[in-house]
Structure 1
Amino acid sequence: MGAGSGGNCLWSIFWLIVLIILSVPVAGFCAFFYIIVSIFTPCIAPLKAVEDFLHKGVNFPHTCSQNMVHGSSL
């Protein structure tokens, strides 16, 4: 371990907490509505923006885990 790696460890712990407490419920909520909205998106074009936003919510745990592994800051 080199100098300055303690900050990365703290950020990894932060992202782990966010992953467990926040991102899993958000992803579950978004996944339900993403499935519903994606059915109607081919028929109603303006729903594409909503679908993209919900897709980001579904991918939130992936983002958190990726930041946790790399020790990324906000």
Structure 2
Amino acid sequence: MGNVIFSIIWLIILIFIAFWVAGIAAGIYILILPLTVCIEALTGLTDFLLSVIQFPRYCAQGMMEGRGFN
């Protein structure tokens, strides 16, 4: 296990930032995804939103490893 302080900081980021940001991004992603069939230019946006939706996983992984912000 890594540094406990970094694990606590990752937990705080996970609870207060990552869940909220991912939730908002998921709503926008659901609304825009069907439009990518008609408008190919939205594919880049949906790819970005998908990576934002995975932000809680990144935070949880950092928390479990005790990894710093490097």
TM-score (norm 2): 0.91
Percent of matched pairs sharing the same residue = 41
Letter in 2 for 1:47: L
Is 2:53 aligned against 1:55? no
- Structure 2, unaligned stretches of length 5 or more? none
Q: Which residue of 2 is the match for residue 30 of structure 1?
A: 25
Alignment of 1:56-71 (within 5 A): 56-71=51-66
Q: Which residue of 1 is the match for residue 7 of structure 2?
A: 12
Runs of 4+ in 1 over 3 A off after TM superposition: none
How far off is 1:53 after superposition? 1.1
Q: Relative to total residues, which structure has the larger helix share, 1 or 2?
A: 2
Over aligned residues, Cα RMSD in angstroms? 1.3
TM-score (norm 1): 0.86
Q: Could you say which structure has the larger radius of gyration?
A: 1
